[in-house]
Amino acid sequence: MLRVATASLKPGMELALPVMHPEQPAQVLLKTGYALTDGAITKLRELRVTQAWVQYPGLAFLEKYVSPEVCNAQNDVFCQVADTIETLQREATPKLDYPAYVDAVGTLISEVMTHPTAAVFVGDLFEADNDLLRHASSVTYLSLLMGLKLDNYLVRQRKHVRPDRAKDVTNLGLGAMLHDVGVPRLPQEVRDAYFKHGNDKDPEWREHPAIGFRLVRGAVDPTAAAVVLHHHQRADGKGYAGADFSVLSGESIHVYARIVAVADQFDRLRRPPGLPPQPAVFALRAFQVPRVAQQFDPEVLDALYKVVPAFPPGSRLQLSDGRAGVVVEPHPEQPCRPTLQLLATLAALDNPDIKPEGETIDLRDVSTDVFVQRCDGQDVGAFNFLLPETDQRVAA
C-alpha cells in the first residue's frame, strides 16, 4: 500500500483503505478495494480530499502500520467529535453523550494495544472541512499514543493513585477529545480571526479553555476536565487558561494536560491556521528550537518522537542524490534517517504499474551527505535534524 496525493491519483488504482466523506464523517465515500475511475478522482478533488491509500505492488507489508481495526476505532472517535461540535453549535444548553465518548476512546485504546505496530502517527487518516473536527481527532489519537508510551512516567507523576489506574489513559483520551469544546462557544468573529491568522494573543480566544471547562466540569473525571482547562498552560509559565484561572508551570500542570499540550502544538505546527499544511518533519524540528522546547515537558517530547515519524511509513521520498523510494521503517532515535525501499525511477512514485526495485537502504548507514530532499512532493531538505545525544533514549 502507498499514500498518494489526490492530485497524483490515476484511474485503476485500488484503494487500500476507505475514503470517508469530509462533510459527513460517518459516511464511507469509497470502500476499500474500489478501483478508481476518472469520475471518482474528480469527485475527490472537488471535495478537497488531499490523499488516499492505494494498493501498490511489493509494499503490502506497510499494512502493519495502518491497521483497519485501529482506523475504524479512530473513525468512531472522529464521528463522536463531529456530533459534539454539531450539538454545541445547535443547542444553547447541550447534553453531551459522555458515556459514548468514553466507549469510543476505550475501543481505540484497546485496538492500539492489540495492534502495536500500528501505534504510530502517519497523518490524518480522515479529512474534514471543519478544522476543529480534524484537529480534535488528531490530537486525541496522538495523545493516546504518547500516553501509552509514557506508562511508567504516568505512574511516577500520579503517585496518589494505584499504578494500574495511573497507567489508564482513558481520561487522557477523553480530555483530548474534548480539549477544544469551548471553541464553538466563542463569538464567530473570534473563531474566524484565529483560524485565519493563528493569533492566540486575543483575550477572547484565550477564554476557550475556561468556557470548555465549565461545560464539562462535574460531568467527566476531574483529570479529563483538567485537560480541557489547562491544555494551553506551558512548562515555563507562559501559558493561559482564562482570566479567572491562574497561570501554572512545570509539574503543577496535570500530566494529562502536558501531554495534550504537546499534541495540540504539534498539530497546529503541522496544520497552521491560514497557511498550507506542513510535513511532520517540519513540526518535529520546531520542537528542537530551545524557546519552543522549554514550553513543554521533556519526557512528553521524548514520547512525541517515539510515536510520530518525521517521514511516516508509506511516505514517498526523493533523496539528495536523486534516488527515490518509499519509507518502510522509521527509526525514532534518528527520525530523519528512515529505511526506505528504492523505486526503479522517480516516475514510479505515481505509477502502480512500475514495481519497486526491491533494494532497501537504511539511511542510518549512509553518509549524511545523502539526505531526504523531498517528501510526498514537498521540499523538506532544510528541515532534516538530529536529536541531541541526551535524547537518544527516545529509541527505548
> 135: burial class by Cβ within 10 Å (0-12, 13-18, 19+)?
buried
Asked if residues 25 and 82 have their Cβ atoms less than 8 Å apart, the reply is: yes
Decide if pLDDT at 324 tops 70: yes
Q: Same structural domain for residues 42 and 80?
A: no
| CA–CA dist 384, 332 (Å, integer) | 14
* Residue 395 pLDDT class (50, 70, 90 cuts): very low
The DSSP-derived string for 339-391 is EEEEESSGGGGG-TTSPEEEEEEEGGGS-TTS-EEEETTEE-GGG-----GGG
Decide if pLDDT at 336 tops 50: yes
Domain endpoint, select from 307, 327, 357 = 307
Domain endpoint, select from 38, 55, 72 = 55
Number of domain units in the chain:
3
User: What secondary structure letter does DSSP report for 3?
Assistant: E
The pLDDT value given to residue 19: 87
Decide if pLDDT at 349 tops 70: no
Average pLDDT score over the chain: 89
H or E, element range at 83: helix 68-90
Say which residues have a Cβ less than 8 Å from residue 209's Cβ, sequence separation at least 6. 182, 228, 229, 230, 231, 232, 240, 241, 242, 245
Q: Of the candidates 6, 147, 173, which has an alpha carbon nearest to the alpha carbon of residue 74?
A: 173
Region 30-41: mean pLDDT is: 93
Identity of the amino acid at 147: G
The pLDDT value given to residue 237: 96
* Residue 199 pLDDT class (50, 70, 90 cuts): confident
DSSP β-bridge partners for residue 14: 35
Give ∠ CA 341-75-207 in degrees, rounded to 5: 110
Task: Dump pLDDT digits (tens) for 40-86.
Answer: 999 999 888 888 888 877 777 778 888 889 988 998 998 898 889 88
Q: Same structural domain for residues 247 and 277?
A: yes
Q: Same structural domain for residues 365 and 254?
A: no
* Residue 194 pLDDT class (50, 70, 90 cuts): very high
Angle between helices 170-177 and 98-114 (to 10 degrees): 120
Decide if pLDDT at 348 tops 90: no
Decide if pLDDT at 328 tops 60: yes
Decide if pLDDT at 346 tops 60: no
Q: Of the candidates 103, 106, 98, 102, which has an alpha carbon nearest to the alpha carbon of residue 218?
A: 98
CATH number (domain holding residue 143): 1.10.3210.10
Decide if pLDDT at 91 tops 90: no
Q: Same structural domain for residues 84 and 44?
A: no
Decide if pLDDT at 393 tops 70: no
DSSP β-bridge partners for residue 341: 326, 360
> 160: burial class by Cβ within 10 Å (0-12, 13-18, 19+)?
exposed
The DSSP-derived string for 16-43 is SS-EEETTEEEEEEE-TTPBP-HHHHHH
Task: Dump pLDDT digits (tens) for 254-274.
Answer: 999 999 999 999 999 999 888
Q: SS3 letters for 249-276?
A: CHHHCCHHHHHHHHHHHHHHHHCCCCCC
Range of the domain at 370: 316-395
**CA-CA distances (angstroms) from residue 379 to 65, 270, 345, 376?**
24, 15, 18, 9
Asked if residues 331 and 307 have their Cβ atoms less than 8 Å apart, the reply is: no
CATH number (domain holding residue 44): 3.90.105.10
Q: Same structural domain for residues 164 and 272?
A: yes
**CA-CA distances (angstroms) from residue 371 to 5, 7, 226?**
22, 25, 42
Phi, psi values for residue 14, rounded to 5°: -105, 130
Say which residues have a Cβ less than 8 Å from residue 115's Cβ, sequence separation at least 6. 67, 69, 70
Q: Same structural domain for residues 96 and 172?
A: yes
Grid cell 493563528 is found at 198
Which grid cell sits at 370? 545523502
Q: Same structural domain for residues 9 and 75?
A: no
Q: Same structural domain for residues 214 and 262?
A: yes
| CA–CA dist 3, 342 (Å, integer) | 16
Domain endpoint, select from 307, 341, 371 = 307
The pLDDT value given to residue 8: 84
Task: Dump pLDDT digits (tens) for 132-172.
Answer: 888 999 999 999 999 999 999 999 999 999 999 999 999 99
Q: How far is CA 227 from the centre of its chain?
A: 17
Q: Same structural domain for residues 91 and 183?
A: yes
Q: Same structural domain for residues 27 and 86?
A: no
* Residue 344 pLDDT class (50, 70, 90 cuts): low
Q: Same structural domain for residues 186 and 284?
A: yes
| CA–CA dist 205, 302 (Å, integer) | 29
Q: Same structural domain for residues 32 and 103?
A: no
Question: What pairing do the DSSP bridges indicate for beta strands 51-54 and 372-375?
Answer: unpaired
For residue 50, the SS3 value is coil
Decide if pLDDT at 364 tops 80: yes
Grid cell 459514548 is found at 100
Asked if residues 62 and 3 have their Cβ atoms less than 8 Å apart, the reply is: no
